[in-house]
Structure 1
Amino acid sequence: MRRFFAYLTAFIREDFNLRLYAGTAAFVAAMTAFNYAVDLEDGIIDKHRGEVLRFWLYAGLDAFMYYSVTVFWLLANRQLSILKTARFWLFSLAAIGVLAWWQDYTGYSKVVGLPVFGEIYSFAHYCFSNLSSALTVWVPFAVFYLLVDRQPSHFYGFRPDWLSLKMYGILLLLMVPLIAWASFQPSFLQTYPIYKGWGAARALHWPEWIPAVIFELCYGFDFISTELIFRGFLIIGMMQVVGRGAVLPMVAVYATVHFGKPLGETIGSVFGGYILGVLAYQSRTIWGGIAVHLGVAWLMELGAFLQSFVHSPEK
């Protein structure tokens, strides 16, 4: 934990500015309140699912959040000249484009609509939706890295760092009691486990554990893609251009992608996003964030599975 606090305190000591942080917090809070007041994500943007307009609505919202907080940081640090550099716009617009495509993409629906997936439509739909980030996130960032970035370093934070992994492992252990407590809450069990079975094992004549494992691997892959976007490209990629100024804008956009989820989760994403962003900035690796994200997600699944097993009618 010493390393964890050393990273956080070093960054905060250098970056913290009361007016900047208070202004950013007020801005994110106001946008969050606006979203839940008008049901922006679910009630307005998602109404255009399958239309090109939905991509542009996501891109506009992401850009507004990202560039607003970026300007706050640049003003506070007297670095507005960065806005005049082509590299800033090249990197940031690439990030906004990939992020909006990832949020909007529904192309997998055509695949799972094929007759071969008829009996396992729901199972296939969830798996393909989680795997679709291979196309929407990994491919464009790989092309950008090879053709534009060309930095002699590991691909946006995929640098092994066992000391950091140990630090994140301790953080994950601290989460276990909280997840165990949450697993007893009715609201938690209304959502988790995400894997519902959907009759896939019966239709495929497989043991129940095989589709469950396949689903959880697909589910986990999308969390890795999430880390690549937010802590990989938006922190380790953008820090080449704006330095410490990469962290707060990332946090603002990270909150935005949670607008369709419960309010508590959105609020938690601000604090969690800031901590993971600082740690990625300081360590130059995203493996720890991946470990935490996957660990929490799978522990929540496991907690819900255990609860359903304990309370099954056969018991």
Structure 2
Amino acid sequence: MFQYIGSSSSPWMNKLLHYFKRYIGEYFHPKLYLTTLLFLVACLAFNFLVDFENTYVDHYYGSSFRWLLYFGMMAFPFLFVCGLLYVFDINRTWVYSREFWLLFFVGFVVISLERSFTYHDGLLAELDYVDRKFVRRLIAKFKPIFITLFSLLVFYYCYERPRDQNRSWYGLHIKAFDFKPYAFLILLVFLGIGVASFLGDLTQYYPRYLKVGGINFAGKHELSAWVPMVTYEMVYGLSFLGVEFFFRGFLVIGFARVLGGYTVLAMVGPYMFLHFGKPITECVSSIFGGYLIGILAYYSRHIWGGVILHVSLAWFMEFFAWLQKLYND
């Protein structure tokens, strides 16, 4: 059992602190961390200087080539950190591991397909503009579930399940999951987002609901205004189950056998790249948030803590952005 850090604070907070202290003690490598940080800062600066994703990647919207671009974009930072493990002689076995390359190609093929998938646009072409805009945004938020989650669950059942004695389903199982350690973190998220809502780049991007055409959809179909709003926000929240399943489930728990705890650091890069196109404040916070939630997933072998925190973060952003707009109006 865990040896808690102190006796004055609650046991469940000590458990979280123990995870962080244990991880730093086992996996902190100064050169690795410094080089990774410089790499992430350089990638972040490059993206915002040239608007790489919105200008170049999205230029190929609807093209199969966009799938290849997203594969390179998402796989590159993960492979870069793995390369650092080799250069610094921390872990070189992954290079010769068939399991690593199988997981690598399966995972990044799936996430790049999900990010580049546009085939539903053809099915919606017959709808008028109001319906097409709202339904298209709902489908976009549902893609992490329909494509990423379902695809990797099939892979888990066929490949991972015979090797996983704990039947963790990449952290999707609910056995022995304890919600209490995350309650305090949710409070911190609430307070942090409340303060961050005064930053202009966040209030320009959120609330997302105002940009999906739900108000016009409700008016056209004579629905109460809350019906499309609740529908969108529920699907929006559900989408983070797919996000957490890939980044904390597949990339952290799935790669743990090959990379050990260093897989947390390797995951941070692709997770930051996922936030390109969003406000820079959110991109920077994704580095630290992804790292901390990754540590929790690595030791707990659950993704539900990350799901709860991620959904709370998204809904709090929507809520505080609404308040800011109401106040400013």
Shared fold (TM-score greater than 0.5)?
A: yes
- For structure 2, the residue ranges without an aligned partner over 5 or more in a row are 1-12
Residues of 2 paired with 1:137 and 1:94: CA distance? 11
Give the Å deviation of 1:304.
2.6
Does residue 1:263 correspond to 2:280, yes or no?
A: yes
| 1:128 pairs with one of 128, 132, 139 | 139
Deviations 1:195-243 (A, max 9, x none): 1234121122211111111000111122111101100100011112221
Give the Å deviation of 1:66.
1.1
Give the Å deviation of 1:8.
0.5
| Counterpart in the other structure of 1:99 | 111
Give the Å deviation of 1:112.
2.8
| Counterpart in the other structure of 1:15 | 27
The 5-angstrom pairing of residues 181-200 of structure 1 reads 181-196=195-210, 197-200=214-217
| Counterpart in the other structure of 1:166 | 180
Q: Provide the secondary structure at the position in 1 that maps to 2:170.
A: helix
Residues of 2 paired with 1:256 and 1:181: CA distance? 24
Q: Provide the secondary structure at the position in 2 that maps to 1:199.
A: helix
Does residue 1:114 correspond to 2:119, yes or no?
A: no
Give the conservation status (yes or no) of the 8 Å contact 1:66–1:252.
yes
Does residue 1:178 correspond to 2:192, yes or no?
A: yes
Residues of 1 paired with 2:46 and 2:120: CA distance? 31
Counterparts in 2 of 1:180 and 1:81: CA distance versus 1, 3 Å: closer
| 2:304 pairs with one of 270, 287, 293 | 287
Deviations 1:96-143 (A, max 9, x none): 11121122111222233233x654222212111111223320221012
Give the Å deviation of 1:190.
2.3
Give the conservation status (yes or no) of the 8 Å contact 1:120–1:198.
no
| Counterpart in the other structure of 1:221 | 238
Does residue 1:300 correspond to 2:317, yes or no?
A: yes
Q: Provide the secondary structure at the position in 2 that maps to 1:157.
A: coil
Give the Å deviation of 1:179.
2.0
Counterparts in 2 of 1:163 and 1:129: CA distance versus 1, 3 Å: closer
Does residue 1:25 correspond to 2:42, yes or no?
A: no
Moved more, 32-41 or 263-272: 32-41
Give the conservation status (yes or no) of the 8 Å contact 2:209–2:233.
yes
Residues of 2 paired with 1:183 and 1:257: CA distance? 21
Give the conservation status (yes or no) of the 8 Å contact 1:227–1:289.
yes
Residues of 2 paired with 1:93 and 1:8: CA distance? 30
Give the conservation status (yes or no) of the 8 Å contact 1:164–1:283.
no
C-alpha RMSD of matched pairs (Å): 1.9
Residues of 2 paired with 1:301 and 1:162: CA distance? 31
Counterparts in 2 of 1:184 and 1:61: CA distance versus 1, 3 Å: closer
Residues of 1 paired with 2:175 and 2:296: CA distance? 12
- Give TM-score, length-normalised by structure 2: 0.88
Counterparts in 2 of 1:40 and 1:304: CA distance versus 1, 3 Å: closer
Amino acid at match of 2:297: A
Give the Å deviation of 1:75.
4.0
Give the conservation status (yes or no) of the 8 Å contact 1:74–1:245.
no
Counterparts in 2 of 1:49 and 1:68: CA distance versus 1, 3 Å: same
Residues of 1 paired with 2:178 and 2:18: CA distance? 12
| Counterpart in the other structure of 2:46 | 34
Give the conservation status (yes or no) of the 8 Å contact 2:149–2:246.
no
Counterparts in 2 of 1:187 and 1:71: CA distance versus 1, 3 Å: closer
Residues of 2 paired with 1:149 and 1:74: CA distance? 25
Moved more, 251-260 or 274-283: 251-260
| Counterpart in the other structure of 2:264 | 247
Give the Å deviation of 1:44.
1.1
- Give TM-score, length-normalised by structure 1: 0.92
Give the conservation status (yes or no) of the 8 Å contact 1:102–1:136.
yes
Give the Å deviation of 1:166.
1.4
- For structure 1, the residue ranges without an aligned partner over 5 or more in a row are none
Does residue 1:237 correspond to 2:258, yes or no?
A: no
Residues of 2 paired with 1:280 and 1:231: CA distance? 6
Residues of 1 paired with 2:202 and 2:270: CA distance? 25
Counterparts in 2 of 1:163 and 1:278: CA distance versus 1, 3 Å: same
Give the Å deviation of 1:6.
0.8
| Counterpart in the other structure of 1:157 | 171
